[in-house]
Chains A and B, each alone.
Chain A
Amino acid sequence: MTTASAILPARGLADHLTAVFWRHPRVLLALLLTPPLLWLGVVYLGSLAALLLQSFYSIDEFSGVVKEEFTLKTYGELLRPSNFDILVRTVTMAALVTLACAILAFPIAYYAARYAKGHWKAAFYLGVMLPLWSSYLVKVYAWKLILAKEGILGWAAERTHTSWIIDGLLSIPGLEGSSLSTSPIGTFAVFVYIWLPYMILPMQAALERVPNSMLEASADLGATRAQTLRTVILPLALPGVIAGSIFTFSLTLGDYIIPQIIGNSANFIGMAVYQLQGTAGNIPLAAAFAVVPIAIMLIYLAIARRMGAFDAL
């Protein structure tokens, strides 16, 4: 009778490799990580590096040829009044959109987190998830239908004799347009609509982590609903709001489709990048414009991290 070994004999390459993975877990780790990191490192980080590199080039004003020498001249051009306006307009729009999204998102997120049960919970979840994932262009297109002069909103306003509200809004200096779809109000409304789900989800996640006992304690200590909301719920929801604001802010900063289709064709950072790289052929300035949102978002992310927003993602 032969004594069988406690360890099975290795049968072929796969078994040998398994033994190597077992003894040196780092080998397996390296094998797993190499392809994705190569992809992301080369394709993505490489591209970002190319972007940064191009932004330090400049364009010869007479020949229109890109001069491949290091210069800060292109960044200097960002400070020209016409270009600086674009930066200010975009950041203002992003801030307003974020604020409006936070206000609109709160009741939905709060209701879904605290009151919705069973089927309603699923309905709320899908109700937010489906618009988030539905085609972006289709959603923008839907708003073109709504905001058009002869569209549903104008029709409803006429029927209810409230056209004067729309006319009043459209006569405010800076917001003029022949209809809502050619006014900055339209641009703002569509931004809010498209990015709203990105605010609701992290907000709801943060609110779901607020223990009920804390609300009960607040009530026991004599706080009214409003006081509980202000001193307990809102501070605890803040990381979720900040996490959501990362999306709404960043997405608005870079979008160039919405202001192109709806609004008075005033320039935004994304549109400037798109036009400069395309028809104008000024890739260095387009690259410099694209670096601005990166810089803003890095600062924003650093602040968000300190306020604990990443736990709510």
Chain B
Amino acid sequence: MLSDRSPFSLRAAAVGGLLFLHLPILLIFLYAFTTEERSFQFPPPGLTTQWFGVAWNDRPDIWPPLWLSLKVATIATAIALVLGTLVAAAMTRTAFFGREQISLLILLPIALPGVITGMALRSAFGVMDIPFSVWTIVLGHATFCIVIVYNNAVARLRRLSGGIMEASADLGANAFQTFRHVLLPNMGSALLAGGMLAFALSFDEVIVTIFTAGSGAEAKTLPIWMLDELIRPRQRPVTNVVAIVVFAATFLPILAAYYLTRGGSETAGMGK
């Protein structure tokens, strides 16, 4: 029988690794309260809550990017939910020619570096003379969100016994009734989890977005706004306040998605 106790060095390295992953993010919170707005002096010379008020009242440049990001993420998530569920339904339980290739095709947008997806879309817009707009951003986001929804939906469908669909058919339900009353309730939490993850991914995405947004001020999503602030800082603590909002917008969905799909072999979020 092997010992169930881990060697101390392993435990220390594992816990140390986890701390390494988490501690940097805490600094973002700390610096949102600093009184020093020109440098990242540590420890902060003083603490204040004024920056939350400044961000809310005196920085009108924050709001349009925030609304745009919410809009893009909502539309992209909706598209991804429909398309991702369709592929997942097709890919479970049926073997057909080209199945492997299709699963590769779904994975490709996140397996290849974002700069390629972005550059590819940009050259396509260039070749076809499509002007940049909200829709060009959505086009890119929906493409890499499909796989997130797909992963969650396909895991749930695989676990679902085929018997309940046959039972539904035996009881006289047609395909659409079975979908509405049997399949959808069973997939609900998995789709919700997938949708939230897709939303978080889209809300936060910057690498592809820069290529598909164009340079206009009206096409600035919140991450692009933040990137601008990182390169040409103004009131640095205000950036931290916005960073906390962005952090919450990605942190809470993944936490919720985890609890929605917990207990299966399919917990949400494996592989972004």
Q: Do A and B come from one complex?
A: yes
- Are A134 and B124 closer than 8 Å at their CB atoms? no
Q: How far is the CA of A129 from the CA of B126 in the complex (A)?
A: 37
Q: How does the 8 Å CB contact mask read for A98-116 relative to B, with 1 for contact and 0 for none?
A: 0000001101101110110
- Tell me how far the C-beta of A293 lies from the nearest C-beta in chain B, rounded to whole angstroms: 5
Interface status of A96 (Cβ within 8 A of chain B): no
Q: How far is the CA of A35 from the CA of B119 in the complex (A)?
A: 24
Q: How far is the CA of A18 from the CA of B146 in the complex (A)?
A: 27
| Nearest residue, chain A, Cβ from B224 | A137
Q: How does the 8 Å CB contact mask read for A242-264 relative to B, with 1 for contact and 0 for none?
A: 00001000110111110011000
A contact residues around B20 at 8 Å (CB): 104, 193, 196
- Are A36 and B83 closer than 8 Å at their CB atoms? yes
B contact residues around A135 at 8 Å (CB): 204, 223, 243, 246-247, 249-250
Interface status of A221 (Cβ within 8 A of chain B): no
Total number of residue pairs linking A and B with CB closer than 8 Å = 290
Given A33-B90, A40-B146, A115-B4, A142 and B123 contact (CB-CB distance below 8 Å): no
Q: Of B13, B83, B122, B207, which contacts A277 at CB under 8 A?
A: B122
| Nearest residue, chain A, Cβ from B246 | A135
| Nearest residue, chain B, Cβ from A262 | B230
Query: At the interface, is chain A mostly helix, strand, loop or mixed?
Result: helix
Given A108-B13, A144-B40, A44 and B230 contact (CB-CB distance below 8 Å): no
- Are A201 and B114 closer than 8 Å at their CB atoms? no
Q: Of B5, B87, B116, B246, which contacts A293 at CB under 8 A?
A: B116
Q: How does the 8 Å CB contact mask read for A125-142 relative to B, with 1 for contact and 0 for none?
A: 111111111111111111
- Tell me how far the C-beta of B200 lies from the nearest C-beta in chain A, rounded to whole angstroms: 6
Within 8 A of B (CB), among A72-108: 104-105, 107-108
B contact residues around A255 at 8 Å (CB): 113-115, 207
| Nearest residue, chain A, Cβ from B248 | A135
- Are A32 and B86 closer than 8 Å at their CB atoms? yes
A contact residues around B240 at 8 Å (CB): 141
Within 8 A of A (CB), among B215-272: 223, 226-227, 230-231, 239-240, 243, 246-247, 249-251, 253-255, 258, 262, 267, 269-272
Interface status of A64 (Cβ within 8 A of chain B): no
Q: List, sorted by A's number, 24 A–B pairs whose CB atoms are closer than 8 Å.
A: A15-B174, A17-B176, A36-B146, A40-B106, A43-B124, A44-B143, A47-B120, A111-B11, A134-B254, A135-B247, A138-B25, A138-B247, A139-B25, A142-B28, A145-B27, A202-B271, A216-B2, A255-B114, A260-B231, A273-B119, A277-B122, A290-B115, A293-B113, A297-B112
Residues of A whose CB lies within 8 Å of any CB of B are: 8, 14-15, 17-18, 21, 25-26, 28-29, 32-33, 35-37, 39-41, 43-48, 50-51, 53-54, 104-105, 107-108, 110-112, 114-115, 122, 124-146, 148, 150-152, 154-155, 193, 196-198, 200-202, 205, 212, 215-216, 219, 225, 246, 250-251, 253-257, 260-261, 269-270, 273-274, 277, 283, 286-287, 290, 293-294, 297, 301, 313
Residues of B whose CB lies within 8 Å of any CB of A are: 1-2, 4-7, 10-11, 13-14, 17-18, 20-22, 24-25, 27-28, 31, 39-43, 79, 82-84, 86-87, 89-90, 94, 96, 102, 105-106, 108-109, 111-117, 119-124, 126-128, 139, 142-143, 146, 169, 172, 174-177, 197, 200-201, 204-207, 210-211, 223, 226-227, 230-231, 239-240, 243, 246-247, 249-251, 253-255, 258, 262, 267, 269-272
Given contacts A36-B87, A126-B258, A133-B250, 11 further A-B contacts (CB under 8 A): A33-B102, A45-B105, A50-B127, A127-B22, A130-B251, A133-B251, A133-B254, A138-B25, A142-B24, A219-B2, A251-B113
